[in-house]
Chains A and B, each alone.
Chain A
């Protein structure tokens, strides 16, 4: 008898119907009718200084306005900034909204209007008069580069650059071939479809039910309990659906604090939904400057790598991400110097955005590798493979698995890389120059401590619960697959519950760790449940499974079957009847294995191949073909996995060509704060995207063999586009986004101007 596998097969999203029919409820969809009050934030107009006077009288006079909160009348909350620390925040003093008269960035909240309707609140907010005492501010990263510093306290979970190996300086001096250049990537703002929002429902007994746009319900719960001094049982967080977050929902944002503050002070339910413009006041991917120097022998062997990156952060927190380590993770060299520094600006603290740090470093390193290949006169793919690492030279550990070469081969074949002429400007069709470029990418494969609960009833209905969030990533679906396969059920017999702080604990969903960690925890719970089920099935002396061990049976089509003699089987129903319990519940766990972590490092890898067509005279770029070949361990669901990678590729194209938050340095303010002027790719910009998964067996990273796919799709894409544009036009653009003017060379490079 054949066992029908579900893991590894393409499955539709189990929540797909709910999403397209509107049945899925997002934060702003939770209502309590007229009971709920609506809040609107007024943001600071200046970048630094203080509020000299704030007059809310006109706002308060508007019929329907219930209260206006400012730093002058806000309720007393936690005094110490340490109480505002969240689960994943960087070192520093987190923003305390409405704490005092001082202003740390343009867009910081200065008042909260609470009213009977949303429109009233928004209107009244415009009537508040604020008199500021502005102080000089600085928002220009390049101007502040001389003041960059190594962060004193490292951010938990982010590896700082390793100590230098050998002497990159002298190795570079002696290198017969070298390449030195600077690369700059513009700041980007997360623009998930759902803007940040919090709905606080105040129950009759004063307890709070909070719907918050967060990538993990516990993160919100911990924060609220800590800031407002509430007991664990006074707060429940329920956020079953998140309309995209991309890292912007890893930390609680000011709308959560303000909504809870208002609900507690007014003893009412409160809803606070940020506008699209306000989405530009909470988090962003930091503008990042890179300088890279590569030295090589004439045969292409790298002799030295020096990669320095400087990212921007706020004045109040040292936000950090991994930008430079990837370079040596991908390429071997005897003399290596990696540096990562920060510059403080008067802006909001940056935050993780899809593959935080990696595409920024990869843009620099993978552009530089291409430029080196040009100098050496060799194929850029050959140069990369020649310098490919066999061990993780950054951490000095073995890889749990690394099928980058296999992925690369598959990708190159699908793309037709071997037909690529070496020289740029060699291919054209009509007025368009055609170029082919590639880049490698890598991202960490991690496990985080997760708990899961699985419950099965006599009718064969299974309920899986984990507190983690599905950000649109497909977590509902893969957890259903894992449970259904383990228990021998069909997918429609499994219900997955996520995003609820009443469920078994999980950290925020991010870093590509959710599939491996939550998946393994569910798998573990299922294993325990199966053991109990088998025991139940064996209760009766005449059970056909008497004496059978768990390894000797399989769970298939709602039956427990003895593998060596499939005629001997017990249906789940019979097992329940025999066991005498209406349902069986089992708890599971998963987490990183310390020993493995000590010896091994684990990453996903990709090779991205891009075809760009560029109008020779007008500089308009089209990315007409992308092949993203990924090695990421076991693929649970090729359909949702492909979506993850395609999403990353589209974003990478956006990073390469479109996305840019534009600061006005005189005002210290992002100016294109809406999605008409903050450009992301539209359909017309996207053509063929092909995703290939290379086979990669990895039993060390996670019990399921899964490595995670959330980030890898974006990592090398922007660099590959830049390399393709160079191959098409012969012009090297080192600053993203590569807008039409930069491709034409009509706008001088900012990094060269220094």
Chain B
């Protein structure tokens, strides 16, 4: 990797002050350091956040919203009693990702900001608009098994690879960030962006902003939720397609439904009209197809990933079934339930 400065800011203010375009915040380093070794990320300096105070708490406020500090590790978040009790969907999604070793290092902030796993993005000897704007997108007619089917552009068809973020989207979380001009709250649906003609930008976070926490509003899904992840082996692989469902059932009818898809777009994919289709309805399997159709409206494949459209349809139906039956997908059992 290229030589860089390593700094340990003593407080948030110092971290923000030190953050230039050429600097990167360092969380667990599980993604950033890899990319530096591959010469994809070339920061002039690393601002190590991991020793900062006050970003490691998990707490619930008066309205029942859960606030998870940006430096809480993925492993700690998934194991935290408040998370397990109030948002098991989040715990499940985190546990569906990576491995125990990686989750022990990975932070909530870093997970939000992890970059795509597009093969070309990682390989500096190939063109890639996300890595080097204007060089082209070889994935479109190349190897694109893991690429997007929704919200793509002619410039980039990459996906956001996070499992955690798919659950956060379904839970309508808010990303709390701090910049030179103070604090800002960004809704999950606005945090990641579609590639458009600037695929080099993954999120709406400003270069000088730092993520300080993730907030999840109160919601009562009981056991009516699931995180279903389909992949090329039963653990330690990114999602081909994943589905997070949070369902509120009242007297046998769906009073509130949130569905987010992973592995299919540059951001966790939600379509509110699709969710509305089932609200007020009994969770009958016959209706699930319509939800899938609406969620996947406009989907297109690029060759190797054509199958994702069909697979997503099947996965959505199964996930809705799991949520309705209060039988969330286990991430310990070596099988899809």
Residues of A within 8 A of B (CB): 43, 45, 119, 122-123, 126, 277, 431-432, 613, 615, 617-620, 622, 657-658, 662-667, 669, 671-674, 676-677, 679, 681-685, 687, 739-741, 744, 746-747
- Once A123-B2, A666-B138, A744-B310 are accepted as A-B contacts, the answer to whether A618 and B233 lie under 8 Å apart by CB is no
B230 within 8 Å of A by Cβ? yes
- Once A744-B307, A746-B306 are accepted as A-B contacts, the answer to whether A666 and B234 lie under 8 Å apart by CB is no
Is B142 in contact with A679, judged by CB distance below 8 angstroms?
no
Other 15 A-B pairs with CB < 8 A, given A679-B232, A741-B311:
A45-B125, A122-B1, A615-B336, A617-B314, A658-B233, A662-B143, A666-B141, A666-B142, A669-B125, A671-B142, A677-B146, A682-B233, A685-B233, A740-B307, A744-B311
Is A664 in contact with B336, judged by CB distance below 8 angstroms?
no
Closest to B1 in A: A123
Smallest CB separation, B314 vs chain A (Å): 5
Per DSSP, are chain B's interface residues mostly helix, strand or loop, or mixed? loop
- Identify which of B126, B138, B237, B304 contacts A679 (C-beta below 8 A): B237
Smallest CB separation, A316 vs chain B (Å): 21
Among B306-334, those with CB < 8 Å from A are 306-307, 310-311, 314-315, 317-318, 334
Assembled-state Cα–Cα distance A384/B195 (Å) = 55
Is A618 in contact with B230, judged by CB distance below 8 angstroms?
yes
Contacts A/B (CB < 8 Å), 11 sampled = A126-B2, A126-B39, A618-B318, A622-B234, A664-B138, A664-B143, A665-B142, A679-B237, A684-B235, A684-B334, A740-B232
Q: Which residues of A contact B25 (CB under 8 A)?
A: none
Assembled-state Cα–Cα distance A48/B208 (Å) = 44
Smallest CB separation, B290 vs chain A (Å): 17
- Once A122-B1, A677-B146, A744-B310 are accepted as A-B contacts, the answer to whether A671 and B119 lie under 8 Å apart by CB is yes
Is B123 in contact with A673, judged by CB distance below 8 angstroms?
yes
Is A657 in contact with B1, judged by CB distance below 8 angstroms?
no
Is B311 in contact with A667, judged by CB distance below 8 angstroms?
no
Assembled-state Cα–Cα distance A43/B318 (Å) = 45
Closest to A676 in B: B117
Q: Which residues of B contact A664 (CB under 8 A)?
A: 126, 138, 142-143
Smallest CB separation, B29 vs chain A (Å): 16
Q: Which residues of B contact A684 (CB under 8 A)?
A: 233-236, 334
Is B3 in contact with A123, judged by CB distance below 8 angstroms?
yes
Assembled-state Cα–Cα distance A664/B138 (Å) = 9
B335 within 8 Å of A by Cβ? yes
Is B126 in contact with A45, judged by CB distance below 8 angstroms?
yes
Is A620 in contact with B119, judged by CB distance below 8 angstroms?
no
Q: Which residues of A contact B318 (CB under 8 A)?
A: 617-618
B94 within 8 Å of A by Cβ? no
| Interface bits B269-285 vs A (CB < 8 Å: 1, else 0) | 00000000000000000
Residues of B within 8 A of A (CB): 1-3, 37, 39, 117, 119-120, 122-126, 138, 141-143, 145-146, 230, 232-238, 240, 304, 306-307, 310-311, 314-315, 317-318, 334-337
Is A119 in contact with B1, judged by CB distance below 8 angstroms?
yes
Assembled-state Cα–Cα distance A672/B117 (Å) = 10
Assembled-state Cα–Cα distance A123/B240 (Å) = 33
Assembled-state Cα–Cα distance A352/B255 (Å) = 60
Q: Which residues of A contact B39 (CB under 8 A)?
A: 126
Closest to B99 in A: A682
Closest to A664 in B: B142
Is B307 in contact with A687, judged by CB distance below 8 angstroms?
no
Give 10 closest A-B pairs by Cβ, nearest first: A741-B307, A746-B307, A684-B235, A684-B234, A45-B125, A671-B119, A664-B142, A671-B143, A684-B334, A746-B310
- Once A122-B1, A673-B123, A674-B122 are accepted as A-B contacts, the answer to whether A622 and B334 lie under 8 Å apart by CB is yes
Among B1, B145, B233, B304, residue most surrounded by chain A Cβ atoms (within 10 Å): B233
Closest to B142 in A: A664
Smallest CB separation, A533 vs chain B (Å): 53
Is B235 in contact with A682, judged by CB distance below 8 angstroms?
yes
Is A663 in contact with B125, judged by CB distance below 8 angstroms?
no
Q: Which residues of B contact A658 (CB under 8 A)?
A: 232-233
- Once A617-B318, A744-B307 are accepted as A-B contacts, the answer to whether A683 and B235 lie under 8 Å apart by CB is yes
Assembled-state Cα–Cα distance A431/B318 (Å) = 11
- Identify which of B142, B304, B317 contacts A667 (C-beta below 8 A): B142
Smallest CB separation, B263 vs chain A (Å): 12
Is B234 in contact with A739, judged by CB distance below 8 angstroms?
no
Closest to A674 in B: B122
Q: Which residues of B contact A673 (CB under 8 A)?
A: 119, 123
Assembled-state Cα–Cα distance A682/B307 (Å) = 24
Smallest CB separation, B7 vs chain A (Å): 19
- Once A620-B234, A622-B335, A677-B117 are accepted as A-B contacts, the answer to whether A669 and B126 lie under 8 Å apart by CB is yes
Is B146 in contact with A747, judged by CB distance below 8 angstroms?
no
Closest to B3 in A: A123
Q: Which residues of B contact A679 (CB under 8 A)?
A: 232-233, 237
Is A746 in contact with B138, judged by CB distance below 8 angstroms?
no
Q: Which residues of B contact A687 (CB under 8 A)?
A: 334
Q: Which residues of A contact B122 (CB under 8 A)?
A: 674
Is A672 in contact with B119, judged by CB distance below 8 angstroms?
yes
Q: Which residues of B contact A615 (CB under 8 A)?
A: 335-336
Is A685 in contact with B234, judged by CB distance below 8 angstroms?
yes
Smallest CB separation, A332 vs chain B (Å): 39
Is A672 in contact with B143, judged by CB distance below 8 angstroms?
yes
Q: Which residues of A contact B238 (CB under 8 A)?
A: 676
Smallest CB separation, A479 vs chain B (Å): 36
Q: Which residues of B contact A662 (CB under 8 A)?
A: 119, 143, 145
Closest to B119 in A: A671
Q: Which residues of A contact B232 (CB under 8 A)?
A: 658, 679, 739-740
Q: Which residues of B contact A669 (CB under 8 A)?
A: 123, 125-126
Is B126 in contact with A667, judged by CB distance below 8 angstroms?
yes
Smallest CB separation, B107 vs chain A (Å): 19
Smallest CB separation, B120 vs chain A (Å): 7
Smallest CB separation, A72 vs chain B (Å): 20
Smallest CB separation, B229 vs chain A (Å): 10
Assembled-state Cα–Cα distance A368/B230 (Å) = 30
Smallest CB separation, B277 vs chain A (Å): 21
Q: Which residues of A contact B236 (CB under 8 A)?
A: 682, 684
- Identify which of A431, A622, A671 contacts B123 (C-beta below 8 A): A671
Closest to A62 in B: B3
Q: Which residues of A contact B145 (CB under 8 A)?
A: 662
Q: Which residues of A contact B138 (CB under 8 A)?
A: 664, 666-667
Among B138, B145, B235, residue most surrounded by chain A Cβ atoms (within 10 Å): B145
Smallest CB separation, A344 vs chain B (Å): 22
Smallest CB separation, A744 vs chain B (Å): 7
Assembled-state Cα–Cα distance A119/B318 (Å) = 48
- Identify which of A43, A432, A618, A677 contacts B119 (C-beta below 8 A): A677
Is A681 in contact with B1, judged by CB distance below 8 angstroms?
no
Assembled-state Cα–Cα distance A657/B231 (Å) = 11
Closest to A739 in B: B232
- Once A683-B235, A741-B307 are accepted as A-B contacts, the answer to whether A663 and B2 lie under 8 Å apart by CB is no
Assembled-state Cα–Cα distance A684/B236 (Å) = 9
Closest to A746 in B: B307
- Once A666-B138, A740-B311 are accepted as A-B contacts, the answer to whether A618 and B235 lie under 8 Å apart by CB is no
Is B124 in contact with A126, judged by CB distance below 8 angstroms?
yes
Q: Which residues of B contact A666 (CB under 8 A)?
A: 138, 141-142
Among A431, A673, A746, residue most surrounded by chain B Cβ atoms (within 10 Å): A746
Assembled-state Cα–Cα distance A673/B311 (Å) = 25
Assembled-state Cα–Cα distance A410/B170 (Å) = 53
Q: Which residues of B contact A663 (CB under 8 A)?
A: 143
Closest to A747 in B: B307
Smallest CB separation, A625 vs chain B (Å): 13
- Once A617-B318, A746-B311, A747-B307 are accepted as A-B contacts, the answer to whether A671 and B234 lie under 8 Å apart by CB is no
- Once A45-B125, A687-B334, A747-B306 are accepted as A-B contacts, the answer to whether A657 and B146 lie under 8 Å apart by CB is no
Among B117, B143, B311, residue most surrounded by chain A Cβ atoms (within 10 Å): B143
Closest to B234 in A: A684
Smallest CB separation, B232 vs chain A (Å): 5
Smallest CB separation, B235 vs chain A (Å): 4
Assembled-state Cα–Cα distance A620/B142 (Å) = 25
